[in-house]
A and B are shown apart, each in its own frame.
Chain A
Amino acid sequence: MHKEQFNSRNVNNGYYLVDIEDYPQDGWGKFKRVVRRTLRGELFVGLWVVLREMIKFDIHTIEYPLEKMPIGPRYRAVHEMKRLWESDTERCIGCGLCEKICISDCIRMDTRIDENSRKEVSQYTINLGRCIFCGYCAEVCPELAITHGGEYENASEQREHFIMYEDMLTPIDTMKAGKQLEFEGFGAITPHEDERVKKTPLAY
C-alpha cells in the first residue's frame, strides 16, 4: 500500500470537469432533449441492474443474532484483564493510572498490601454505563494489563452496569491452554518491536 496518493496535496491530480452540455434555452432545444432522454432507455438500465442483482442473489444480509460479523482485533469493546504469559498471574500492578486517566471517571479501584508485601488489587470495577470506550485506559496501562476485548453485546436493565475485575480477567483455563489474545489497538506493543529496540549507550 503506497501512501503517496493520500499524502499528496495536489488536488488537481486526476480531476477533470464532467462534460455537461448547456441547458437548452428555446422550445425546440427542450423538445429535442425530451425526445433524446425518452428514447435513451435509461429506465431499462435501472430495471436491468436491480433484476441482475436479484438473479445473482448475492445477499449481503447478516442475520445478526444468529450470525455475526468478524470484528477487527483493534475493536474497542468491553474491557479485558490479561494475565502474564510466564506465570499466569495477573498483570495489573495496581498503579492506578487507568483510574486516573479515565475521562468519564468510570473506573473505581482499591489496592492493598498482600501477605508478600506486594501491592494487590482488592477491588476493581468499570461502570460500562459511563464508559465511552475511548481506550485511554488501555493506552496508559504500563503493563498491558487492561485492554479492550471483542464482546460488544452488553445490554443492561439500568444505566449503571458494572463489570468486575474477576469477569474481565482471562480465565485460568484459557490461559493454561495458551489462548489468551493480545490486544492490537493502541497501547499494545507494535509488531517487530524487538528489532527496533536500541541498546542504551553506557557512555552517559
Chain B
Amino acid sequence: METAYLIETVIKVVVILLIFSALAGIGTYFERKILAFMQRRLGPMNVGPYGLLQVAADGVKLFTKEDIIPTNVVAPIFKIAPVITAATAFMAAAAIPFLPQFTLFGYTVHPIVADINIGILYILGIMGVGLYGPLLGGMASANKFSLLSAARGAAVFISYEVITGLSILAPIMMVGSLSLIDFNEYQSGGIGDWIVWSQPVAFVLFWIAAFAETGRTPFHLIANDHEIIDGFGTEYSGMRWGLFFIGEYANMFFISFVIPLLFLGGYGDGSILGALGLLAKMSFFFFFFLWSRAAWPDVRPDQLMWLCWKVLMPLAVINVVITGFVMMF
C-alpha cells in the first residue's frame, strides 16, 4: 500500500510537471495567436504549420542562451529567485483536483497530488510565497528599475492577497471546509448549486484579484511595459528568465482551474461530461486572461492600490458580513 501510494504520487507529480510545463509553452503560443487575431494580425506563422513549432524554437533559444550573471548582483539570490517563482507555481498545483477520479486498468486514480483538508489555505499560502521570486530577483539585480518593479510587485501582491482571502472567506463559510474536493461536492448538484449564484460579489472580487496575483494585464505592474524594460526580469537572460515565464503561465493555468473549482461547480458530479466541463471552464478563464490583455489598458499603481483598499476590500468585508448574517438567521 505504502509503496503503491508513493509510486502513484511520484507519477502524478511528474505528469503534472510535464503537462503544465508543456502547457505553459503552448499557452504562450495561444497568447500570441489570440492577441494577434484580436489585433488583426496573424501571429507566428513561419516555424512549423501555422507557427505551431514556435514554442519549440523559443524553448531551444531559452535553453541555449548564455546565462548571464551581471557584476554587482547578489549572485546566490539572483540565481535562486526564478526557481522560487516556478517552484511555487507548481507547488500550488499539488492541492488542485484537476479532474474527477477515474479508473484506469482497474486502479482508481485521484487526479490530485495531495487531498489535504486545507487545500485552499495551502494554495493561497503558496501563491503568497510566489511573491518572493519577483521581489528577490528585483532586489538582487543591482538595477534601479528592477528594484522599482519588485517594490511595485510586492505592493500589488500583498494588497491583493487581502482581497483573495476576504473574498473567498464567504464561500468557505458556506461550504464549511477548506478542501477543494468538498467545494466541488457542495456544488455537484448542477448549475443551480454553483456558488457563483449565491456569492456573485465574491466571485467577481476573486476573479479581479486573480489578475493581480498572476500579474496579468490590467494589473501588469510587475513588468511595466511603460518603462520599456521587463521590470524585475531586466537583468535575467536565458533559462532563468524562462523560469519566470513558465511560472507566470503555470500560475495562469492554475488560477484558471481554481476559479471554476471554487465558484462554478468544478467537475460537477464527476462524470466525463463534468470533467470536460471543468476543462472548458478552465479554457474560458485562460482565454479571458488573453482577451482582457488585448482589450484593456494597464492601470496606474496608485489606481491599483486605490481599487484594492478603497473599493474591493470594503466590498469583500461587507460581503462576508452579509453572508454571516444570512447564515445566522
| Contacts from A to B (Cβ < 8 Å) | 34, 43, 46-47, 49-51, 53-54, 57-61, 63
Does B37 sit within 8 A of A, measured CB to CB? yes
In Å, the complex CA distance between A204 and B41 comes to: 66
Which residues from B are CB-within-8-Å of A53?
Answer: 37-40
- Residues 279-293 of B, flagged 1 when their CB comes within 8 A of A and 0 if not, give 000000000000110
Known interface pairs A34-B311, A46-B295, A63-B45; A51-B38 also in contact (CB < 8 Å):
yes
Known interface pairs A46-B295, A50-B294; A57-B45 also in contact (CB < 8 Å):
no
Which residues from A are CB-within-8-Å of B41?
Answer: 59-61
> Can you offer 20 A-B residue contacts whose CB atoms are under 8 A?
A43-B296, A46-B296, A47-B291, A47-B292, A47-B295, A50-B39, A50-B291, A50-B295, A51-B38, A51-B291, A53-B37, A53-B38, A54-B34, A54-B38, A57-B37, A58-B40, A59-B41, A60-B41, A61-B42, A63-B45
Contact status A60-B291, CB under 8 Å: no
Q: Which residue of A lies closest to B294 (CB)?
A: A50
Q: Which residue of B lies closest to A58 (CB)?
A: B40
A-side binding surface: helix, strand, loop or mixed? Answer: helix
Supplied contacts A47-B291, A61-B36, 13 more A-B pairs, CB within 8 Å = A49-B295, A50-B294, A51-B291, A53-B37, A53-B38, A53-B39, A54-B34, A59-B37, A59-B42, A60-B40, A60-B41, A61-B40, A63-B42
In the complex, number of A-B residue pairs with CB atoms less than 8 Å apart: 39
What is the number of residues of chain B that contact chain A, defined by CB distance less than 8 Å? 15
B-side binding surface: helix, strand, loop or mixed? Answer: helix
Contact status A54-B295, CB under 8 Å: no
Which residues from B are CB-within-8-Å of A43?
Answer: 295-296
Which of A34, A47, A49, A58 has most chain B Cβ within 10 Å?
A47
Which residues from A are CB-within-8-Å of B292?
Answer: 47
Q: Give the shortest distance, in Å, between B162 (CB) and chain A (any CB).
A: 20
In Å, the complex CA distance between A88 and B37 comes to: 51
In Å, the complex CA distance between A21 and B246 comes to: 46
Within 8 A of A (CB), among B182-218: none
In Å, the complex CA distance between A69 and B304 comes to: 44
Q: Which residue of A lies closest to B218 (CB)?
A: A43
Contact status B296-A54, CB under 8 Å: no
In Å, the complex CA distance between A49 and B38 comes to: 9
Q: Which residue of A lies closest to B310 (CB)?
A: A34
Which residues from B are CB-within-8-Å of A47?
Answer: 291-292, 295-296
Which residues from A are CB-within-8-Å of B291?
Answer: 47, 50-51
Which residues from A are CB-within-8-Å of B45?
Answer: 61, 63
Contact status B42-A54, CB under 8 Å: no
Q: Give the shortest distance, in Å, between A135 (CB) and chain B (any CB).
A: 33
Which residues from A are CB-within-8-Å of B296?
Answer: 43, 46-47
Q: Give the shortest distance, in Å, between B182 (CB) and chain A (any CB).
A: 33
Which residues from B are CB-within-8-Å of A50?
Answer: 38-39, 291, 294-295
Q: Which residue of B lies closest to A34 (CB)?
A: B311
Q: Which residue of B lies closest to A62 (CB)?
A: B42
Known interface pairs A61-B42, A63-B42; A54-B37 also in contact (CB < 8 Å):
yes
Which residues from B are CB-within-8-Å of A49?
Answer: 295
Q: Which residue of A lies closest to B42 (CB)?
A: A61
Within 8 A of A (CB), among B250-306: 291-292, 294-296
Which residues from A are CB-within-8-Å of B39?
Answer: 50, 53
In Å, the complex CA distance between A34 and B310 comes to: 11
Q: Give the shortest distance, in Å, between A78 (CB) and chain B (any CB).
A: 27
Q: Give the shortest distance, in Å, between A41 (CB) and chain B (any CB).
A: 13
Q: Give the shortest distance, in Å, between A52 (CB) and chain B (any CB).
A: 9
In Å, the complex CA distance between A71 and B295 comes to: 33
Contact status A59-B40, CB under 8 Å: yes
Within 8 A of A (CB), among B32-84: 34, 36-42, 45
In Å, the complex CA distance between A46 and B298 comes to: 13
Q: Give the shortest distance, in Å, between A30 (CB) and chain B (any CB).
A: 10
Q: Give the shortest distance, in Å, between A53 (CB) and chain B (any CB).
A: 6
In Å, the complex CA distance between A60 and B40 comes to: 6
Within 8 A of A (CB), among B4-56: 34, 36-42, 45
In Å, the complex CA distance between A49 and B36 comes to: 14
Which residues from B are CB-within-8-Å of A46?
Answer: 295-296
In Å, the complex CA distance between A71 and B292 comes to: 36
In Å, the complex CA distance between A173 and B199 comes to: 79
Q: Give the shortest distance, in Å, between B82 (CB) and chain A (any CB).
A: 31
Which residues from A are CB-within-8-Å of B295?
Answer: 43, 46-47, 49-50
In Å, the complex CA distance between A37 and B311 comes to: 13
